[in-house]
């Protein structure tokens, strides 16, 4: 089977690395991909939201399965486009249709879904500029800190956590009346603050049954000790060492099963990944957010821990046969540390030559923002390469990643030296 992976990050390189190992694969394509995916398949210089161009590529290359990496094409309806285009209707798309993608694309939609299906989450209310005063009153009724979320997609920046009541009111007004996050903040969800440690769980579902993937924890802040600006993610560990089987059973019974059942009750078809962003409050899981795709850099530790043929699972998802499949994990831990460009997540330079990668042994470098030009490997984004390693535990895995990182260099290279510090 010919397969196309959409996206260009470390997540997509990890998908490509795993799918490449499948006997069921014929040709692998990635759009647009990076220097890492180019070593595993053919990079197509296409934007994942240019559906017409993708259609042509899928037909020309006889592609039978498309894995959608990022959320944007899903929220814009790529799955619906395939479903309603005659020549593409038999192509498997891994990722939900537009309506279901609102679980990620609209915080209010996700909250209403969770309330309807009694899935534990923070108390909330949502507001528009027409009921700003009610928003102020709701803030007054809460204890600090105050959690304000733009309803729509805001490139991971749409959540504000504010200590001071007056500042929270000011920011609410900025979001609603001054479009602080553009159209994404025309509606704002205000939530009760939850205090606890975060982790992420993932499933692959065909809308009827599901398969649990390894869990993970990522490190979102740029600075050590979880300080500074939010990033896409600076590192990740899998499995999460601070949860036991009893807790994971609660996640399955109170969160995962009710979510899958809820989709069925609401008659929402879903073929793809569900990413549960969870917080452990005391000993109870609560849902912070849903994503309709895998995480990045979580995928760079989740995928390497899967032993089963991943393409076989994806095909079964497309054919609604996931109930016949099981999954096997590696017992070892996997951890990753992200190398980023100086300045990221604010302005940064691209085009810096990357040295030392061939010296890396016993770690897997998953490329993110990289490109090959004139036989030179160059930086091409904020997040550049994720260095993933296995170990008997997360400490051993991280040690290997940090050892290998000493061999790699590029102008301005930055990374967090404390991934796993809190575990």
The entry of ligand GLY, ligand AMP, none that residue 25 binds, CB within 5 to 8 Å by partner kind: none
Of residues 259-298, which lie at the interface with ligand GLY (CB under 6 A)? 291, 295-296, 298
CB of 199 to ligand GLY, least distance (A): 12
The entry of ligand AMP, ligand GLY, none that residue 342 binds, CB within 5 to 8 Å by partner kind: none
**What phi and psi, each to the nearest 5 degrees, are found at residue 383?**
-90, 125
Closest residue by Cα to residue 277 from 422, 135, 71, 15 = 71
The Cα 341–Cα 350 span in angstroms is: 8
CB of 161 to ligand AMP, least distance (A): 6
Closest residue by Cα to residue 220 from 161, 305, 150, 139 = 161
Task: State which residue, 58 or 334, has the beta carbon closest to ligand GLY.
Answer: 334
Give the Å distances, CA to CA, from 224 to 32, 220, 234, 414, 417: 32, 10, 10, 11, 7
The entry of ligand GLY, ligand AMP, none that residue 218 binds, CB within 5 to 8 Å by partner kind: ligand GLY
The entry of ligand AMP, ligand GLY, none that residue 206 binds, CB within 5 to 8 Å by partner kind: none
CB of 34 to ligand GLY, least distance (A): 17
Tell me: does residue 233 bind ligand GLY (CB under 6 A).
yes
Task: State which residue, 289 or 296, has the beta carbon closest to ligand AMP.
Answer: 289
Task: State which residue, 172 or 397, has the beta carbon closest to ligand GLY.
Answer: 397
DSSP 191-232: E----SEEEEEEEEE-SSSEEEEEEEEE--EEETTTEEEE-S
Of residues 164-223, which lie at the interface with ligand GLY (CB under 6 A)? 218
The DSSP secondary-structure symbol of 331 reads S
Query: With CB under 6 A, what is the number of residues at the site for ligand GLY?
Result: 7
* Alpha helix ranges (H) inside 67-164: 72-75, 78-83, 98-105, 107-116, 132-141
Binding site for ligand AMP (CB under 6 A): 122, 147, 149, 159, 191, 193-194, 198, 277, 288-289
The entry of ligand GLY, ligand AMP, none that residue 368 binds, CB within 5 to 8 Å by partner kind: none
On whether the CB atoms of residues 186 and 259 are closer than 8 A, the answer is: no
Task: State which residue, 54 or 103, has the beta carbon closest to ligand AMP.
Answer: 103
- Number of neighbouring beta carbons within 10 Å of residue 116: 12
| Residues contacting 219, CB < 8 A, separation 6+ | 226, 233, 234, 235, 236, 416, 419
On whether the CB atoms of residues 204 and 322 are closer than 8 A, the answer is: yes
Give the Å distances, CA to CA, from 12 to 55, 123, 129, 327: 20, 35, 39, 20
CB of 218 to ligand GLY, least distance (A): 4
Task: State which residue, 12 or 298, has the beta carbon closest to ligand GLY.
Answer: 298
CB of 314 to ligand GLY, least distance (A): 19
Task: State which residue, 194 or 260, has the beta carbon closest to ligand AMP.
Answer: 194
Task: State which residue, 232 or 345, has the beta carbon closest to ligand GLY.
Answer: 232
Residues at the contact surface with ligand GLY, assessed by CB under 6 A: 218, 232-233, 291, 295-296, 298
């Amino acid at each position: 089977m010919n397969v196309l992976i959409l996206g260009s990050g470390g997540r997509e390189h990890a998908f490509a690395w795993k799918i490449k190992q499948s006997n069921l694969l014929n040709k692998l394509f990635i759009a647009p991909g990076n220097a890492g995916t180019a070593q595993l398949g053919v990079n197509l210089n296409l934007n994942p939201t240019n559906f017409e161009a993708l259609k042509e590529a899928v037909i020309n290359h006889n592609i039978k399965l498309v894995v959608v990496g990022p959320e944007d094409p899903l929220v814009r309806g790529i799955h619906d486009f395939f479903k309603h285009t005659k020549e593409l209707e038999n192509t498997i798309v891994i990722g939900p249709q537009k309506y279901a993608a609102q679980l990620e694309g609209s915080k209010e939609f996700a909250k209403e879904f969770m309330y309807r299906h009694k899935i534990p989450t923070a108390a909330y209310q949502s507001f528009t500029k027409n009921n700003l005063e009610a928003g102020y009153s709701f803030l007054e009724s809460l204890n600090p800190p105050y959690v304000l979320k733009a309803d729509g997609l805001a490139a991971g920046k749409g959540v504000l956590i504010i200590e001071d009541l007056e500042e929270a009111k000011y920011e609410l007004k900025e979001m609603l009346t001054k479009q602080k996050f553009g159209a994404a903040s025309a509606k704002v969800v205000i939530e009760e603050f939850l205090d606890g440690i975060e982790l992420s769980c993932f499933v692959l579902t065909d809308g009827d049954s599901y398969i649990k993937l390894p869990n993970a924890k990522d490190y979102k802040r740029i600075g050590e000790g979880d300080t500074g600006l939010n990033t896409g993610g600076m590192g990740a560990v899998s499995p999460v060492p601070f949860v036991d089987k009893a807790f994971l059973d609660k996640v399955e019974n109170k969160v995962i099963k009710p979510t899958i059942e809820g989709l069925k009750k609401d008659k929402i078809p879903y073929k793809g990944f569900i990413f549960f962003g969870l917080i452990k409050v005391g000993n109870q899981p609560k849902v912070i957010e849903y994503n309709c795709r895998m995480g990045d850099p979580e995928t760079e530790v989740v995928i390497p821990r899967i032993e089963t043929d991943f393409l076989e699972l994806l095909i079964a998802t497309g054919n609604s046969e996931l109930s016949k499949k099981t999954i096997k994990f590696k017992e070892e831990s996997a951890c990753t540390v992200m190398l980023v460009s100086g300045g990221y997540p604010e302005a940064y330079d691209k085009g810096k030559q990357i040295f030392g990668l061939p010296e890396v042994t016993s770690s897997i470098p998953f490329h993110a923002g990289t490109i090959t030009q004139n036989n030179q490997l160059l930086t091409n984004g904020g997040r550049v390469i994720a260095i993933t390693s296995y170990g008997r535990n997360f400490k051993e895995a991280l040690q290997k990643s940090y050892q290998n990182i000493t061999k790699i260099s590029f102008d301005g290279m930055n990374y967090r030296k404390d991934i796993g510090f809190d575990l």
